[in-house]
Amino acid sequence: DARGDQCDGCSRTLDAIELIKPRCLVDKAHVVTTKSSAHMYLKLDDIQPQTEEWIKRSWKTGKWSPNAVINGDGVIIDPRLKGGLIPTPLTRDLTWGVPVPPEFETEEQGMKGKFDAPIGYPSITANYTPEWKQWWFNSKNVRLYQFMGKDNVYFHTVYWPSVQIGDGRDWTMLHHLSTTEYLNYEGGKFSKSKNRGVFGPAAKDTGIPASVWRYYLLSTRPETADAMFSWSDCVAANNNVLLNK
């Protein structure tokens, strides 16, 4: 039941043609087939030696979490790096999203989300201030700290740094990485697309004070192992811990 090009179960990145029994959720009678089209690719395999060198240099000075792509002994553990990176597509046959620049476009195509999403970091800063390069092209004076779940580690320690290295400019790159295991929801994974979990508007509508949310979520933060969000535990945290103080 992978949705798109990443498996929700193991986080493996998939080629669309690897999907078993692909189906369309909009029209279940539609027969999914393949077609040939030209696309732009990022040669991650050519950049891999430089990426690995950067990882081995950066993880220790930045004190990365041990569940990143490299363990506490300095050994690379990410299966994609160990198996050898392969060229990855930058474009897709969709008309919505960030368009491909006209000088490169061969068909009606858009940029793949995993490529344009990290570019959102500097572009949001550029939208905020014309002095954005003081943050994003200032590696000697700026340190970048990032916090995320383990499913995003690859894109922030391998994929996006490879893009920066391949670009050749003096980017401000990841310094410290704090990453957690999964916070699951009542026996399953949080999933907006499957409407499983509690998210911003719904959390607000519960009427639970923000201080209670902060305490419960911090107390169950999955530092070293997967944790479980439970409504009964949330109530107990409020009644038995906060109200008893």
Asked whether the beta carbons of 137 and 116 are under 8 A apart, the reply is: no
Asked whether the beta carbons of 40 and 89 are under 8 A apart, the reply is: yes
68 exposure class (CB count in 10 Å sphere: 0-12, 13-18, 19+): buried
Confidence (pLDDT) at 71: 85
Query: pLDDT tens for residues 100-153?
Result: 887 776 667 888 888 888 999 999 999 999 999 999 999 999 999 999 988 889
Confidence (pLDDT) at 46: 97
Mark out the alpha helices in 5-43 (DSSP H runs).
Answer: none
Confidence (pLDDT) at 178: 93
Confidence (pLDDT) at 60: 92
Confidence (pLDDT) at 11: 63
Give the predicted TM-score (pTM) of the model.
0.80
Kindly state the average pLDDT of the residues 10-28: 76
Question: What backbone torsions phi and psi does residue 163 show, to the nearest 5 degrees?
Answer: -60, -45
Listed residue (189, 150, 148) closest to 1, CA to CA: 189
15 exposure class (CB count in 10 Å sphere: 0-12, 13-18, 19+): exposed
Confidence (pLDDT) at 98: 82
Question: What backbone torsions phi and psi does residue 98 show, to the nearest 5 degrees?
Answer: -75, 120
Assign 191 a pLDDT band (cuts: 50, 70, 90). Answer: confident
Does residue 4 have a pLDDT over 70? Answer: no
Query: pLDDT tens for residues 29-72?
Result: 888 888 888 888 999 999 999 999 999 999 999 999 888 888 88
